[in-house]
Amino acid sequence: MESGNRKGGILWIVSAPSGAGKTSLSRALVETTPGIYTSISYTTRQPRPGESEGSDYHFVSPETFADMSRRGEFLESAQVHGNRYGTGESWVRNHLAEGKDCLLEIDWQGADLVRQRLPEATVSIFILPPSRAVLEERLRGRGQDSEEVIARRLAAAREELLHYEEFDYLVVNADFTTALRDLQSIVRAEHLRRFRQQNAEQARLKALMA
């Protein structure tokens, strides 16, 4: 039986190994697709060059993060590369209830938690690099991480890739324009699924069948 979030927006989960292009593709998707809003995650890590508070992340202290977690304010939270990340639950639920699509950039652990909490609302996408060599080249090209950090991220990438089968869609980011077009096609196709159309177009369908 087909199920779905018939009355609310779609909760898009985008995951990928570090360096696969998740953030750039997600931003481009939101910028080119009306009606999708990005959830800004909370993190305990320090801002990278060019990142700003409230735009890239909500940067908080470990103590503040722990307090928020104890109060149950996160839809999901996880530790990645020694730092904590979390998604504010009230923001997501309020947007979905208003019929707005929300996009989460989270790892496979967070994706699993969100699927358990909001199974009917979620559609998940995993971004793949075209090869391990390209992934390593992209990580080095950032010029922000030490050799130790790059090695740790490559090791984590192997672990993350083991979970690709848990996602609804796979997009290979060999060419940015093509990958973005693939994401846009997925969004369009999901909104055209029968159970979503049936909810949105009930009056039209009744008139056609009269």
Tokens 């959830």 sit at which residue?
39
User: So what's the pLDDT on residue 7?
Assistant: 61
Q: Number of C-alpha atoms within 13 angstroms, CB side, residue 120?
A: 13
CA angle 19, 155, 77 (to 5 degrees): 70
Token reading at 87: 């998604």
Pairwise CA distance, residues 90 & 29, whole Å: 23
Going by their DSSP bridges, the two strands 122-128 and 42-43 should be labelled as unpaired
DSSP 57: B
Mean pLDDT of the chain: 89
104-161, pLDDT tens digit by residue?
Answer: 999 998 999 999 999 999 999 999 999 888 888 877 777 667 788 788 888 888 888 9
User: So what's the pLDDT on residue 203?
Assistant: 64
DSSP lists the bridge partners of residue 172 as 128
Token reading at 180: 């973005």
CATH 3.40.50.300 is right for the domain spanning 11-39+101-209: yes
Higher pLDDT, 146 or 60: 60
